[in-house]
A and B are shown apart, each in its own frame.
Chain A
Amino acid sequence: MPSFVKNPKDFLAGLIFIGVAAIFGYGILELPVGSAFRMGPGYFPMILAGMLGVLGAVIMFNGIRFEGEQIQNFAWRGLVNIVLPVVFFGATLKGLGFVLSLTLTIFFTSIASSKFKLWVSLLNVAVLVFFGWLIFIWGLNLPISLWGPWIGGY
């Protein structure tokens, strides 16, 4: 973080808001804006993106002017170990099928905890896969195959 930033939380938050406003601003370029009388698809988002940009700038400016706390113990490991299994689940559910995809997802997730124990995690997998099957597939009839085409299912 550059030294002129006194409050990194505000500075970064402001920067993110400005960034999002810019992305939406880019999207508005290809939308008809219309007039205040007959607003086009781009009118309302244009107001919002403008507001967000201004608010972001003020928040960022506050981060330069006023003293504030540092960002503390950002859980990189937790974030990666939680979010990657979610993506894995999305990517493999159709291919591997319910049982294997969920098993691996839960197993990978349990590693995120500093209190990871192999047998607890395996037991957890067994219980969750069973109840997941019971509630969602048997109970709610979700169209998810138990064994996917990647491992010879259908």
Chain B
Amino acid sequence: MDMNVFSNLALGFGQALTLANLLYCFLGVFLGTIVGVLPGLGPIATIAMLLPITFQLPPTSSLIMLAGIYYGAQYGGSTTAILINVPGESSSVVTAIDGYKLARQGRAGFALFTAAVGSFFAGTISTFLIAGFAPPLAAVALSFGPAEYFSLMVLGLAASVSLAHGSLIKAVAMVVLGLLLGTIGQDLYTGTPRFNFNMTDLSDGLEFVALVMGLFGIGEIVRNLEDEHERSVLAQKVASLIPSWAEFKTTIAPILRGTALGSVLGILPGGGAMLASFAAYSMEKRLAKDPSRFGKGAIEGVAGPESANNSGAQTSFIPMLTLGIPSNPVMALMIGAMIIQGIVPGPNVVTEKPELFWGLIASMWVGNIMLLILNLPLIGMWVKFLTVPYHVLFPGIMAVCCIGVYSVSNNPFDVYTMAFFGVVGYVMVKLDCEPAPLILGFVIGKMLEEYLRRAMLLSRGDPFVFFQRPISAGLLLLAIAALTIVLIPSVSKKREEAFKE
């Protein structure tokens, strides 16, 4: 890290603090909080719904807003987890365990305060981590040839599959299915139409927005309609938010540990907020002098995971921004948004679009301050949102999906595509196949093919090129390791426990 970081951050804040970008940042974190509060509506579906709207915005503003939704959802998710034992996000599942117990003991204010402060601290640290680590990483990546890139993408896919929950082989199959769907449309080199099955609408490939909205928007609605039950909101009076110094002291160490763990797990391909929060919870439990307190209202069980999920959410931007590789479905959507804006994701973004890169990073810190203000004093307002029943909510989600997907290119075919993948998404989930790996495959597919073909052309058709170049070989070995480790019985058992806990 050198002094450049500070001049770069200054550039970034110059971008993030313009009136328009402040507004989009606020809009993002505001929507993110709502999404976090509402169960049954996640950041993936929301970002997908907003993608068409962001086409109209300048690239920096659109990424600032979309990023705000993701980390904003981490704040909002914890609120409902603590107050009513309903985790709004998968990353707040563990927060509900001890947070809700604390709320029942009348210490909801303390838990909420800890969650917000922990998230804010973690968000601040990880903003600086991105600022410090992303440029050097991008510089290294600039020396990569096509073989290295291919192997890096394979590693990214392998790692995300091994960290996904559910059956490994099904996740691999879903990635391959995504890659295959990505090949629909014109061939990059020859312009030959592929797999359009005599439909002219398919000649440019499947519309990304339609695919995502179908899988996560429409498919999700059907899943939520399976069992509709009224949410009972026990309107808890949140007494005092500010804890005593003695109470506050107990949260410092878990917040620090959670931030560190979350930052590391966020960078890993396949990582992100959910994994970070689960790992932080089990770490706190293991480190505690009296582990039996966990599950009965241990503040460490809130402080650790809440810090971890926010730092994990933010550092997962590092591989996305520097290598162009999505570590989770949300990052895949961000890459999709960049491509739509005409930006080629990869190591060149840092040098060619510094205002976008640093503006986005600076906006994260600004957004975290906004979230602190939005969440602490306004907590009562968010709880009100929970009283909106799903049967009132979902027609709205549907309407936004329908108009949004149509607006991408004013083509009804995209609406039909969305409907089709809505069915696909629901059926696959019923067959225990998670749709997230499919999205990763779809986004990476074209790049993966391009690098494969280029590498093979350079090596004159020798597939061993991927193992002869040391960096490429190392990355591929890591990919193989990531997949085989999961298959080791003791690890696979641990993995299942971790996702069940």
Binding site for B on A (CB under 8 A): 9-10, 12-13, 16-17, 20-21, 24, 27, 31-32, 35-45, 48-49, 51-52, 55-56, 58-59, 62, 71, 73-75, 78-79, 82-83, 85-87, 89-91, 93-94, 102, 105-106, 109-110, 112-116, 120-121, 124-125, 128, 132, 135-136, 140, 142-144
Contacts and interface: CB of A to CB of B under 8 A. Distances in A.
B452 A105 contact: no
B328 to A, nearest CB: 22
B227 interface: yes
Interface string B475-501: 000000000000000000000000000
Interface in B190-242: 190, 192, 194-195, 197, 218, 221-223, 225-228
Given A48-B183, A89-B402, A110-B395, A37 B456 contact: yes
Contacts of B169: 55, 58-59, 62
Contacts of B449: 44
Contact of B463 (A36, A44, A62, A87): A36
Given A82-B422, A102-B403, A109-B395, A45 B177 contact: no
14 contacts: A13-B170, A16-B427, A27-B195, A35-B461, A37-B456, A37-B461, A51-B176, A78-B225, A82-B221, A86-B401, A86-B415, A87-B419, A90-B416, A132-B400
Contacts of A87: 415-416, 419
Given A55-B169, A90-B402, 19 more contacts: A9-B432, A21-B180, A27-B197, A31-B194, A37-B460, A42-B194, A44-B452, A44-B453, A59-B167, A75-B225, A75-B226, A82-B218, A86-B419, A90-B419, A109-B394, A113-B390, A121-B395, A124-B396, A142-B407
A112 B393 CA distance: 12
Interface of B: 53, 56, 167, 169-170, 172-173, 176-177, 179-180, 183, 187, 189-190, 192, 194-195, 197, 218, 221-223, 225-228, 389-392, 394-396, 398-404, 406-407, 410, 412-416, 418-419, 422-423, 426-428, 430-433, 449, 452-453, 456-457, 460-463
Nearest to B407: A142
A120 B396 CA distance: 12
Contacts of A110: 391, 395
Given A24-B180, A39-B456, A93 B406 contact: yes
B398 A56 contact: no
A55 B176 contact: yes
Main secondary structure of the interface of B (DSSP, over half): helix
Contact of A48 (B179, B225, B428, B432): B179
A53 to B, nearest CB: 10
Nearest to A127: B396
Contacts of A79: 222, 423, 426
A41 B189 contact: yes
Contact of A32 (B192, B453, B460): B192
A78 B226 contact: yes
A86 B402 contact: yes
A109 B218 CA distance: 11
A36 B398 contact: no
Given A13-B432, A37-B457, A55-B173, A143 B410 contact: yes
B451 to A, nearest CB: 11
A89 B413 CA distance: 11
Nearest to B406: A93
Contacts of B428: 13, 16
Contacts of B187: 41
The 3 A-B residue pairs with the shortest CB-CB distance in the complex, in nearest-first order: A37-B461, A90-B415, A41-B187
Contacts of B406: 89-90, 93, 144
Which of B223, B398, B422 has the most chain A CB atoms closer than 10 A to its own CB?
B398
